[in-house]
Amino acid sequence: MIVLRSNQGKEWYEPCLALAGKVTHAVRLCMWVVLLALGLNAGMAMAGGTPTNDEGGPLGENEVAQILASPEAAAAGEGLFNQVCVYCHGAKGIGGKARKMQCRTYDPNYLFNTIANGKKRGAFVMPSWKQSYDDKTMWELASYIMTLKDLEHCQ
């Protein structure tokens, strides 16, 4: 093992220095895998295999409108956002790795399609959630995101 000394007399071991960058990268990669697995498990538990509507088909316009107008649906969407979306979008959509969601007006269909199908922008990738959540859950999430335009500091 090669011992390096700085001008302050501190010892540095070359293999440790070389490994430090790799360990950091490996730790980050493991953290991503764990967070993704936790998010998927939480989402599957929340979805609970509930059908999209009583007949198991896609939601109709009236059902979607009811979800978007419901404070209870927005509250359910907030819970899911805090479990799965906060890592990239920040608490209450303040931004982070992904774009800020506060103080912005969204088309609900755009939000639903982005949540369901994911999105790629340069090196940033938002995963598709349609395999993890039913339509009702994704509309609840869209409902919550739409409330972020009404925060006090957005006025």
Given its phi and psi angles, is residue 10 left (phi above 0), alpha (psi -120 to 50 degrees) or beta? beta
What is the secondary structure of 84-109 as a DSSP string?
IIHHHH-GGG--SSS---TT----HH
Q: Work out the angle at residue 100's Cα, subtended by the Cα atoms of residues 81 and 96, and round it to the nearest 5 degrees.
A: 80
pLDDT recorded at residue 59: 85
- 25 vs 78, residue with greater confidence: 78
Share above pLDDT 90 across residues of the chain, in percent, rounded to a whole number: 50
pLDDT recorded at residue 7: 46
- 73 vs 100, residue with greater confidence: 73
Domains contained in the chain, number: 1
Q: Once rounded to an integer, what is the mean pLDDT over residues 56-75?
A: 89
pLDDT recorded at residue 152: 87
Q: Rg of the chain's alpha carbons, rounded to an integer?
A: 21
User: Could you read off the pLDDT of 30-49 as tens digits, one per residue?
Assistant: 455 444 444 544 444 444 43
Domain of residue 103, CATH code:
1.10.760.10
Q: Which domain holds residue 39?
A: 3-154
User: Could you read off the pLDDT of 100-111 as tens digits, one per residue?
Assistant: 899 999 999 999
- Nearest CA to 114 out of 101, 103, 123, 102 is that of 101
Alpha-carbon dihedral 106, 101, 46, 119, rounded to 10 degrees: 70
- Nearest CA to 85 out of 12, 148, 30 is that of 148
For residue 51, pLDDT beyond 50: no
